[in-house]
Amino acid sequence: MGLDITKKKRRIALGCEGSANKLGIGVILHEGDAAAPTSTVLSNVRHTFVSPPGTGFLPKDTAHHHRAFFVRVAKQALADAGIRIADIDCICYTRGPGMGAPLASVAVAARTLALLWGKELVGVNHCVGHIEMGRAITGADHPVVLYVSGGNTQVIAYAEQRYRIFGETLDIAVGNCLDRFARALAISNDPAPGYNIEQLAKKGGRVLLDLPYAVKGMDCSFSGILTRVEELAAQMKANGGKGPDGEPFTGADLCFSLQETVYAMLVEITERAMAHVGSNQVLIVGGVGCNERLQEMMALMAADRGGSVFATDERFCIDNGIMIAHAGLLAYETGFRTPIEDSTCTQRFRTDEVLVKWRK
């Protein structure tokens, strides 16, 4: 390990992610200059814990899932990558933010690999992982980032070696609002509640139900909207609620109205941040980022401003190990290490706490 990592031509990292209900392990290869490496995804394996319709994933069950599948997923990731253990330079894992128990089980597993194989550890901020992977895949160099998932809703822009949060939700995350609404209608959690809401919304749209629209500056709030859609869902089940045209509305109409409202809010706060920092690139990351309606609305907004939108597909949008490997390796190349005695994980870890040493 005395070797200077920046002098090495090929650098390989294995990343372990498990901050929510996805367990992901991926292997990334960086080549060339450490200041501006070329990245190649060698493998990206994921296994998702899916809870029955009407329920959410609980920390205990999710942690159990991650423990049960870790070895299988890790072996698959190594086999897909076609590398030897000796080729790996470091083991990266999600330090936070996320759910405590699942984070802890993956951190234990990552530590085990590091000790077993004699590798150094790198703790990674989950949000920074999403951002760096999005940048690497899309090639967006200085975008305003909308990070939307089941646990996070943030509008971020880079300034002076930090990813600064310009706007965020003041209560629950947008994905949490969608997930919990899906429970009210007992929409399937397989592959993801948000995906099923999107498919159902395509069948709705006869009416737009009046939902609260809560934007405060560059921040927003979703709990009031959730309460309202849950009320409407209950009304619909009990006696068939009436839409603004006096006709009964359907679950599909609810999905449609919810999507139109919350995505309009997200696009609005993103546009506000773009105007504020003077950027015309948007990068959407996080699980909700795979939603095609959100991508479409964002593209319309960006086009209006003479800019463009960058988004990735489910392989990189949804939590994965490769993004942890990539962001971890970027930090590793600047000399960052997480000694084993400090290799904790944390539920609270703000995006702007990370010193982004690999960017100017």
Partner 1 sequence: MAAADDAQFPPPKVLTYPASTPPTLITQGAEGRLYKTTHLTRDRPCALKYRPPKPYRHPILDARLTKARLSSEAKVLERCWREGVPVPAVYAMDPAAGWMMMEWIEGIPVRVGINQWLGERPEEGAEIPEGADETPLVDLMKRIGAAIGALHKTGVVHGDLTTSNMMLRPVQGGQANGGAGNEGKTRAVEGDVVLIDFGLATQSMSDEDRAVDLYVLERAFASTHPRAERLFATLLESYKSTFKKASSVLIKLEDVRMRGRKRSMLG
Task: Report the binding-site residues for substrate.
Answer: 147-151, 179, 194, 198, 291
Ordered DSSP codes for 157-182: EEETTEEEEEEEBSSS-HHHHHHHHH
Q: 101 vs 137, which CB is nearer to partner 1?
A: 101
Are 316 and 134 in contact by the 8 Å Cβ rule? The answer is: yes
State the distance between the two ends of the chain, measured CA to CA, in whole angstroms. Answer: 27
Binding piece for partner 1, criterion CB under 8 A, among 47-55, 75-83, 104-112, 154-162: 154-162
Q: 150 vs 251, which CB is nearer to partner 1?
A: 150
Q: Which whole-number Å values give the CA distances from 240 to 170, 194, 202, in the listed order?
A: 32, 24, 20
Q: Is 279 in the site for partner 1 (CB under 8 A)?
A: no
Note the Cα 113 to chain centre separation in Å. Answer: 24
Q: Is 143 in the site for partner 1 (CB under 8 A)?
A: no
**Among residue numbers 156 through 185, which ones bind partner 1 (CB under 8 A)?**
157, 159-160, 164-166, 168-171, 173, 176
Q: Which whole-number Å values give the CA distances from 333 to 43, 255, 358, in the listed order?
A: 20, 45, 8
Contact residue for partner 1 among 49, 69, 349, 358 (CB under 8 A): 349
Shortest Å distance, C-beta 40 to partner 1: 27
Are 20 and 150 in contact by the 8 Å Cβ rule? The answer is: yes
What tokens does 357 get?
Answer: 């040493």
Q: 34 vs 290, which CB is nearer to partner 1?
A: 290
Contact residue for partner 1 among 297, 317, 318, 331 (CB under 8 A): 297
Cα–Cα dist 26/356, whole Å: 22
Cis upstream peptide for 143 (omega within 30°) = no
Q: Is 132 in the site for partner 1 (CB under 8 A)?
A: no
Q: Is 227 in the site for partner 1 (CB under 8 A)?
A: no
Cα–Cα dist 347/102, whole Å: 10
Contact residue for partner 1 among 39, 44, 138, 261 (CB under 8 A): 261
Binding piece for partner 1, criterion CB under 8 A, among 98-106, 132-140, 191-199, 330-338: 98-106
Q: Is 126 in the site for partner 1 (CB under 8 A)?
A: yes
**Among residue numbers 40 through 69, which ones bind partner 1 (CB under 8 A)?**
none
**Among residue numbers 318 through 337, which ones bind partner 1 (CB under 8 A)?**
319
Closest CA to 258 of 184, 346, 342, 162: 184
Q: Is 151 in the site for partner 1 (CB under 8 A)?
A: yes
Are 13 and 90 in contact by the 8 Å Cβ rule? The answer is: yes
Task: Name the residues that contact partner 1, by CB under 8 A.
Answer: 19-20, 94, 96-99, 103, 126, 149-152, 157, 159-160, 164-166, 168-171, 173, 176, 208, 210, 213, 215-219, 260-261, 264, 267-268, 271-272, 274-276, 296-298, 300-301, 304-306, 319, 347-351
